[in-house]
Structure 1
């Protein structure tokens, strides 16, 4: 008897989203009756669990419009066959916005789902209006035949359209509890190397460059006071071009730069750190969920801005991530 296949379309825009989409396929959709496809704007190296992977090129003016329209037509053709699932991290990006607000989901029996994007899933976030960004989205949407919806709430978890929400921590995730599906990130058999230290860099939105440099200074002082420091790795954020770490370090510690597009969740086992230092981020939550007591995680932030992240601190306490305020 012929098995009717369900098409799962995942739309991703960051290395972390690629990683989480892969974990969802691995844990929920490996049977023969599922066909999994990934549309991503971040190139994925190596083997894949997806039957098909498509790269979304977001660069270039008219090329970007043509690319968006082409991918939209391609996904529509697949979904209009019926019995489809589409997975988006939020509704801010163009494709995500179109499928949540404009595509006739019920007509074609398509279910739309949210999947874990980071700490955005743990508090009520409202996206600020950015004239240039939203004007570009509006224009591309118009030229591609749909009305891009500008909504500050880019994770409308309580909307009736939402089928399921895939997350790593159900306890803290927003949305109806009956719709929450927990993804396990726990990795068995991880062996940290004593003395291997990983610094995760980046530019937190709410901090200025001087404040970020002060965080790095504290991390470097912590390392200098350690008795055992075998290898020190630095992984910067793929979108950060500030050079704040270099300004703080100035040769104080020797580091191995492992900055790359792949999320730290995918590459950590190549370097086996026992200690991870960073500012508060989704990455720390993910790593502690993956490795638990096998790694020590220290998070640095500015004391005067402590309240900005008040929703995050209970999660850090739950996962035993150490908070250091300066």
Structure 2
């Protein structure tokens, strides 16, 4: 592995307060405003839905096994501090696969970021063809999105468009990202032959988009607080709209500030089919390598630590 200069501060609790202003880095926009809200809001949501969560936890244990997936992340060199982008994908994808976590990759500039992620998934697919894998492409022109899906089609089971990355102003200007219309997303949905996800659902406008497109998967996210969007947390948006959104898709995914088995249980009890975790997994890998990363996964397991 090449020499690394990790940017994570390895805070005891990853709550957005230790990396304010560090972007590039592990922080977010507006002094980590939404990053901090993401982390703090799950407790409020839990307190407001305690009876529903208790009913969920009364189910037989096999119905409480959490579906955890690593959130799609790129920019490992500039944001995390890896010496090479490819090192990050190989290390984190291999470790996640060994502990049964779903595997997700993201898109970025230059194209090698996506291609390194695809290469890491292809290695997994050789030994485990049934591994749960997904790719999320930035909202380029549809023609360019189709090209990227073609690169990844042999190693992913789910393909999605990361509509919230349109709100990364520098990226939008650099590679000409588009604010996707329902018609464009429907074209993408009809083009691919695998389940289609829309990532970055976080506003009322996004909900209206979901109603028209009816994707297979709705992925609630505000990009970990790293994009310019409205003030708020994914936890509260999820709790307020999950039941409505279930009418227009098959599955609901959510990320943002999930830090404990209680957070995982809260999301699942309210209707999440999958929870996704980003920074804590990347931080554990940087701090202690694959062994610490595996420990972080176990820490989030309901069955190991309970509620």
Instruction: Judge same fold: TM > 0.5, yes or no.
Output: no
- Structure scoring higher RCO (CA < 8 A, sep ≥ 6) equals 2
> How does the TM-score come out when normalised to structure 2?
0.31
Greater share of helix: 2
The TM-score normalised by the length of structure 1 is 0.30
Larger radius of gyration, structure 1 or 2?
Answer: 1
- Higher relative strand content: 1
